[in-house]
Amino acid sequence: MSDHNLERFGYTQELSRTLELRDLVIYGFIFIVPIAPFGIFGHVMNASGGMIVTAYIIGLIGMLFTAISYSQMAKEFPIAGSVYSYVSKGAGGFIGFVAGWIMLLDYILVPALLYVVGAFAIHDIFPSLSPIFLLIAFVIFNTYINIRGISFTAVFNRWMLVAELIVLVIFLVMGVIAISNNVNGAVFSIAPVYQPDSFSLGLIVSAVPIAVLSFLGFDGISTLAEEAKGGGKAVSKAIFIVLFVIGGLFIAQTWIAALIQPDPKQFANLDTAFYDTARIAGGNWLGVLAAATTALAWGIADSLVAQVATARILYSMGRDRLLPSALSRVHARYKTPYISTLLVSLVSIVVGIAFMANLALLTSIVTIGALTAFMILNLSTLYYFVIKKKSYNVFLHILSPLLGVGVVGYIWSGFEGYTILIGAVWALIGIAIYYLAKRRGQQVNMEI
């Protein structure tokens, strides 16, 4: 029996299996923006005391162990996967719902974060334009597109990916030239990794919850399991290819940028620190190019997808009466969940304006949902294979999930107390919704 025979899970093969490994990898690169560090560079540099590369390396290690758990579950359950579906099948419906609900915090808030970063990027190019005005403009534009049901095609996404990679290569080349010419006193060194006079693991770990935002999205590849020719095995391979390549790109760009401007105290604005660093490396044109690409990637391309995904989840939960039924209303003409879309837009505006002066905190709140869900996934992998299936694969089913929990948990320890409080309150709300639904005799499912 092939690993992508859905009948054994009670499903029929309805989606066409047309995606090659190459297609899965490209989707992964689109899900994880190759230039993601551009938007949060200043905040990670500031939190890590300039040792930004070490923060990204720790984040990558945590994601790799979690990716092993994803890959094992994708092979075992080669369905269109997610944290909710894998944890539900591995550890039970209640735990799965809690994991999915916690991940929903990421989904609901990430559009606001994307809009804020996009707004700051445009503001860097046109300082006379208010970031609040730009944020609202991004939200209105994307909301119109999504309610009308206008699709940005896969072709557009691929060209956007190509543009991001081209800009990244240009920055890396100009950065290396600048360092070679000692621009701003820059020299090649390991300072972005280790500074003996100021190194503190606690300091670095406090920066990782911000840095790890850049990696979020690799798990999106698992949603394509039913369309991949190789099923779960192809998904597993694609996840690792994407993480290793994207991790290398993140390390390269932050290392070069940190050598050009090693002192975070010199940043006039942490929100636009990367664009200022690009200007030092290659002149104003390079700063404008980096900012414009970030604005398009974060403010339009990625936020469009994030808004659609979040609106569809709220629509599904409204339809199942887990949330107010109004969220399941579909536009009579455009056949889109317009109430859910409008709610996501309103939340994005309110949250974006509220956290505009504290982008690092908003980033932490977004990542705490994902990291908590990843820890639950790792534990569920351990429980399913060792307790349920009596597996004795020491590395894949025991050590790896435990290391995933340990590393991600250590990253988790870097969150501020109020971020943890927000996450805990959100989790309790989800648990209350679950039990209320069960008391009403409802079936509890989450499309996440």
The reported pTM is 0.89
pLDDT of 207 > 50? The answer is yes
Residue found under tokens 């399991």 = 225
Closest CA to 71 of 293, 301, 234, 263: 234
- Stretch 100-114: mean pLDDT, rounded? 92
CA–CA dist 253, 273 (Å, integer): 13
Backbone angles phi, psi at 228, to 5 degrees: -90, 135
- Stretch 283-289: mean pLDDT, rounded? 98
CA–CA dist 11, 214 (Å, integer): 34
CA 339 to chain centre: 25
Residues 6+ apart with CB under 8 A from 153: none
Least confident of 176-180, 277-281, 318-322: 318-322
- Stretch 277-286: mean pLDDT, rounded? 97
Least confident of 28-37, 94-103, 301-310: 301-310
Q: What does each C-alpha distance from 313 to 44, 104, 176, 347 come to in angstroms?
A: 31, 8, 44, 15
Question: pLDDT class for 141, splitting at 50, 70, 90?
Answer: very high
Question: pLDDT class for 5, splitting at 50, 70, 90?
Answer: low
Task: Name the residue with higher pLDDT: 332 or 247.
Answer: 247
Residue found under tokens 């099948």 = 89
Judged on CB neighbours under 10 Å (0-12, 13-18, 19+), 158 is middle
User: Tell me, what's the pLDDT at 1?
Assistant: 38
User: Tell me, what's the pLDDT at 3?
Assistant: 46
pLDDT above 70 coverage of the chain, percent: 92
